Chain A
Amino acid sequence: MLSIKNLHVSINGKKILNGINLEIKTGEVHAIMGPNGSGKSTLASVLAGKEIFNVTEGKINYFGEDLFELNPEERAKKGIFLGFQYPVEIPGVSMINFMKVAVNEQRKYKGLKPLSAADFLKLMRERKELVELNSALTNRSVNEGFSGGEKKRNEIFQMAMLEPKLAILDETDSGLDIDALKIVANGVNKLKTKDNASIVITHYQRLLDFIVPDFVHVLYNGKIVKSAGKELALELEEKGYEWIKKELGE
């Protein structure tokens, strides 16, 4: 579904990604790990279409389409979902209204009628249960006054509502205690099907105890320097990122 070829990205003239290659098929879960500043979040942002980054070289193909031809909202409607590392607050805009617009935009794109108020509320109830989201949160403004953990859970809730084909979770585990982590991971696992895929970006192996990846990639200095199965995460946990640096002869 997603094929990244020789992706080079810079911001303000500074190179951040230096030739990423990655193939993702439906039904797969890929974990991307790496030390701070290695380019993990940049990769997520570029996939979602954030404008401030400059793609200097390379191609991304998504279900046969050139991803760079699509603006962020088109990508979203075609099933790309980004779980933000730092979800923003939108004061005065209720979570219900926000989700209703988002869900119906997507339905419109697929040629479906907008959901009736009753159907929408039913859908919301179901999905809230799935991610064990406190029902009061959806009555509040988007992310306003949410704790760090609530914001992350809210991201997973939105993912459950939108049922993406490709979910990119950018450090969704950061700032979560172990219980919240389990809830988030549980949500992700329940939403997994043979027709969708996820990219789980994380700094620690902890999350991968709960979301078991098919592949683990190590990102370092803007390049994927090592790819393997889930055992790579454990090895990294044990030996630390210094080990990678040594292997690379630095």
Chain B
Amino acid sequence: MAKEQDKIIKEVTQSDYKYGFVTNIENDTIPKGLSEETVRLISAKKNEPDFMLEFRLRAFAKWKTMKMPNWAHLNIPEIDLQDIIYYAAPKPKKKLESIDEIDPELRDTFNRLGIPLNEQKILSGVAVDAVMDSVSVKTTFKETLAEKGIIFCSFSEAVIQHPDLIKKYLGSTVPHGDNYFAALNSAVFSDGSFVYIPKGVRCPMELSTYFRINAANTGQFERTLIIADDDSYVSYLEGCTAPMRDENQLHAAIVEIVVMENAEVKYSTVQNWYPGNKEGKGGIYNFVTKRCICKGDNSKISWTQVETGSAITWKYPSCILRGNNSIGEFYSVAVTNNYQQADTGTKMIHIGKNTKSTIISKGISAGKSQNSYRGLVRVLKKAENARNFSQCDSLLLGNRCGAHTYPYIEAANNSAIIEHEATTSKIGEDQIFYCNQRGISTEDAIGMIVNGYAKEILNKLPMEFAVEAQKLLQISLEGSVG
């Protein structure tokens, strides 16, 4: 048994983070450092209209007055923002024939990541926007979707092609000065995805963005904006990976979602940024602001996240339930191992009448990691008959990790019903032994127990990704018992 565990630990320390490779490609980069000059340079690189530059400059001015937040249960080393490259675009080796052609190096990179950019080979029923470092490399199925009036393209393209929509909705859910990292993103963001689903349209395929950090010393600051017009529906998935490097890299993204009357958006994330090595060296700092406004009556947003990567995760996908009868859901599995830290949860702001929210959070901590759930349920004065149900479970593997729960409840309307349940449990030696005794190895047993624990959440993911996520959970926890 002890021998077996040694073997497992050895395998893990020697086995690589599967996505840790680096693509050797020349980059078009700007010098390190952050100033108004940097902001202007990025805007100029992208040939942006004036309103975008103004937005960026407002955000930058605001950011300069702000301080890095320190209220989370995180130990964040000082980040030197002057030591980061804010724009890095992969430079193709030869001149490409058309806008739809992709550099073969990039195609190979995404193939290795399991994201073929060739529409014939791609997962059926999934359209992908592939973003590497600061730019979108390729968006698939654009034409098929356009037939239904759906816009799915890179953010940069949307700024040029659909300036009215961008002007109207950019910063409408996450204002440029919302928080330190949101302000930073608003000033220097370089690309991301844009989705518009017109009235009455049910998006016929899953939309997905795959984010890849490749270049060294760069930060990734992308922005996603999704608008679901009246009576529409879309399911959207986000995935991310990065090479293994000894230094930490910053990722500060924004996701804004607007849901109109009777519309529904399902947003799923499988976050697998490089988590750092066993000793806690390297890894991505993941500081993300995600927010959705359920603007219209009877609208619905459902956030599902599987968080396994990043050295530090700071992320609270939130729902502003403005429309009457609107529904917000948050389903989360967050896994931390080794020296990873996660402070994640959600905010449910009930404004409209008969609004409903559900929070199901499952934290899994192993190694010497720290895993916190932080969630706010706020019911405003006019939100008659608001309902919330929250369930926060923590699972511990071993004795050296920590699990914390910080629920905040603020109800200004007496008709609100708010329920909160929380449990903390440990994977028992007894459970593992029981599996062993039936011929199941310790590693498989942990995978099985953890997947059982997280099943409720994994079931919410689109089918194609649920299986991937299951494997990911198991891999993330390899060698965590020993």
**Which residues of A lie under 8 Å from residue B436 when comparing CB positions?**
49, 71-73, 76
A184 within 8 A of B: no
B449 within 8 A of A: yes
A28 within 8 A of B: no
A109 within 8 A of B: yes
Known pairs A101-B444, A105-B440; A88 contacts B1 (CB<8 A): no
Tell me which residues from 431 to 452 in chain B have a Cβ below 8 Å from any Cβ of chain A: 431, 433-442, 444, 448-449, 451-452
Instruction: Mark contacts of A205-238 with chain B using CB atoms, 8 A cut-off: 1 yes-contact digit, 0 otherwise.
Output: 0000000000000000000000000000000000
Tell me which residues from 50 to 80 in chain B have a Cβ below 8 Å from any Cβ of chain A: none
Tell me which residues from 119 to 150 in chain B have a Cβ below 8 Å from any Cβ of chain A: none
Tell me the nearest residue of chain B to A50, going by C-beta. B433
B420 within 8 A of A: no
CA distance A151 to B448 in the complex (A): 20
Q: Which of A50, A88, A92 has the most CB of B within 10 A?
A: A92
A39 to chain B minimum Cβ distance, whole angstroms, is 19
**CB < 8 Å: which of B3, B431, B437, B444 contacts A72?**
B437
**Which residues of A lie under 8 Å from residue B437 when comparing CB positions?**
48-49, 72-73, 75-76, 81-82, 84
> Interface residues of A, CB < 8 Å — how many?
30
A59 to chain B minimum Cβ distance, whole angstroms, is 18
A49 touches B1 (CB 8 A): yes
**Which residues of B lie under 8 Å from residue A162 when comparing CB positions?**
438-439
B434 touches A90 (CB 8 A): yes
**CB < 8 Å: which of A50, A72, A92 contacts B452?**
A92
CA distance A129 to B176 in the complex (A): 66
- Interface residues of chain B: helix, strand, loop or mixed (majority): helix
**Which residues of B lie under 8 Å from residue A106 when comparing CB positions?**
439
**CB < 8 Å: which of A49, A51, A90 contacts B449?**
A90
Known pairs A51-B2, A77-B439; A87 contacts B434 (CB<8 A): yes
Tell me which residues from 86 to 142 in chain A have a Cβ below 8 Å from any Cβ of chain B: 87-88, 90-93, 97-98, 101-102, 105-106, 109, 141
Known pairs A50-B433, A90-B449, A158-B438; A72 contacts B1 (CB<8 A): yes
B4 within 8 A of A: yes
**Which residues of A lie under 8 Å from residue B456 when comparing CB positions?**
92
Instruction: Mark contacts of A144-157 with chain B using CB atoms, 8 A cut-off: 1 yes-contact digit, 0 otherwise.
Output: 00000000000000
Give the contact-size bracket for chain B. 20 to 34
A93 touches B452 (CB 8 A): yes
B46 within 8 A of A: no
B162 within 8 A of A: no
B439 touches A76 (CB 8 A): yes
Q: Which of B1, B440, B442, B456 has the most CB of A within 10 A?
A: B440
Known pairs A51-B1, A92-B455, A93-B449; A73 contacts B431 (CB<8 A): no
Instruction: Mark contacts of B433-477 with chain A using CB atoms, 8 A cut-off: 1 yes-contact digit, 0 otherwise.
Output: 111111111101000110111111000000000000000000000
Tell me which residues from 171 to 185 in chain A have a Cβ below 8 Å from any Cβ of chain B: none
CA distance A130 to B430 in the complex (A): 28
CA distance A77 to B444 in the complex (A): 15
**Which residues of A lie under 8 Å from residue B31 when comparing CB positions?**
none
B1 touches A102 (CB 8 A): no
CA distance A126 to B430 in the complex (A): 29
B434 touches A88 (CB 8 A): yes
**CB < 8 Å: which of A84, A92, A101, A102 contacts B453?**
A92
B424 to chain A minimum Cβ distance, whole angstroms, is 14
B433 touches A98 (CB 8 A): no
B114 within 8 A of A: no
CA distance A30 to B253 in the complex (A): 66
Tell me the nearest residue of chain A to B433, going by C-beta. A50
CA distance A49 to B3 in the complex (A): 13
B453 to chain A minimum Cβ distance, whole angstroms, is 5
Tell me the nearest residue of chain B to A70, going by C-beta. B1
CA distance A162 to B448 in the complex (A): 19
B20 within 8 A of A: no
B200 within 8 A of A: no
**CB < 8 Å: which of A77, A88, A97, A109 contacts B428?**
A88
A71 touches B451 (CB 8 A): no
**CB < 8 Å: which of B1, B430, B452 contacts A71?**
B1
**Which residues of B lie under 8 Å from residue A75 when comparing CB positions?**
437
CA distance A93 to B432 in the complex (A): 13
CA distance A93 to B438 in the complex (A): 14
B451 touches A88 (CB 8 A): no
Known pairs A88-B428, A88-B430, A90-B431; A102 contacts B440 (CB<8 A): yes
A134 to chain B minimum Cβ distance, whole angstroms, is 21
B448 touches A72 (CB 8 A): no
B428 touches A91 (CB 8 A): no
CA distance A91 to B429 in the complex (A): 15
Given contacts A73-B440, A90-B448, 12 further A-B pairs with CB under 8 A are A73-B437, A75-B437, A76-B439, A81-B437, A91-B452, A92-B452, A92-B454, A92-B455, A101-B440, A105-B439, A105-B441, A106-B439
Binding site for B on A (CB under 8 A): 48-52, 71-73, 75-77, 81-82, 84, 87-88, 90-93, 97-98, 101-102, 105-106, 109, 141, 158, 162
Q: 16 A-B residue contacts at CB 8 Å?
A: A50-B433, A52-B429, A72-B437, A73-B442, A87-B434, A88-B434, A90-B431, A90-B448, A93-B451, A93-B452, A98-B435, A98-B438, A98-B448, A109-B439, A141-B452, A162-B439
Binding site for A on B (CB under 8 A): 1-4, 428-431, 433-442, 444, 448-449, 451-456
The 3 closest A-B pairs by CB, nearest first: A92-B452, A93-B452, A72-B436
